[in-house]
Amino acid sequence: MKFAKWGNSIDIRVPADVVAKLGISPDQEAQIKVTGEYSFEVIRDRSREEAIEAIRRLARPLPPGYKFNRDEIYDRFERSGMGRELEARSKREQETQ
C-alpha cells in the first residue's frame, strides 16, 4: 500500500488485488481499527447498503394500468393540509421581504 498526503489527511492507496479480494469500490465507506503497533483492520461500513435494502423491502407494486400523473399529484398536495401550510408560509415570507 502507498500513503499520500490529501489536504490535512493521509490517503491510503489500496492495490488492485486487495480491492478485488475485498470486493470494494471507490464509492464505499469503511472504518479502520488499529489492531497493533503496525497493523490495522478494515471494517466495511454497510449502513448505506442496509438502508437502501430496507427501503426496497418497503416497495409495493403499482396497480395494473397505473399511469403517473404529476399534475394530479400536485393538485392533491395543494389541497392537503401540508400544501396549504407551505403556501401560507411562502406568502408570509414574501410579505416580509
Does residue 37 share a domain with residue 9? yes
pLDDT at position 37 is: 92
pLDDT in tens, the chain (97 residues): 788 998 999 888 889 998 899 888 888 888 889 999 989 888 888 888 899 999 999 998 888 998 888 888 888 877 788 878 888 888 888 888 7
Q: Are residues 45 and 8 in the same domain?
A: yes
Residue 55, in any domain of the structure: no
Block residue for cell numbers 491510503: 12
Name the residue type at position 9: S
pLDDT of residue 23: 84
Is 38 contained in some domain?
yes
Is position 56 within any domain?
no
Cell of 6: 490529501
CATH of the domain at 6: 2.10.260
Residue 58 lies in a domain: no
**Beta-bridge partner residues of 31:** 43
Domain hosting residue 29, numbered range = 2-49
The answer to whether residues 15 and 41 belong to one domain is yes
Q: What are the cell numbers at 23?
A: 470486493
The DSSP result for the chain, as a single string, is -EEEEETTEEEEEPPHHHHHHHT--TT-EEEEEEEETTEEEEEEE-HHHHHHHHHHHH--PPPTT----HHHHHHHHHHSHHHHHHHHHHHHHHHH-
**pTM passes above 0.75:** no
Are residues 71 and 34 part of one domain?
no
Count structural domains, the chain: 2
Q: Are residues 67 and 44 part of one domain?
A: no
What is the pLDDT, as a whole number, of residue 47?
86
What is the spatial distance between Cα 4 and Cα 24, in angstroms, rounded to a whole number? 20
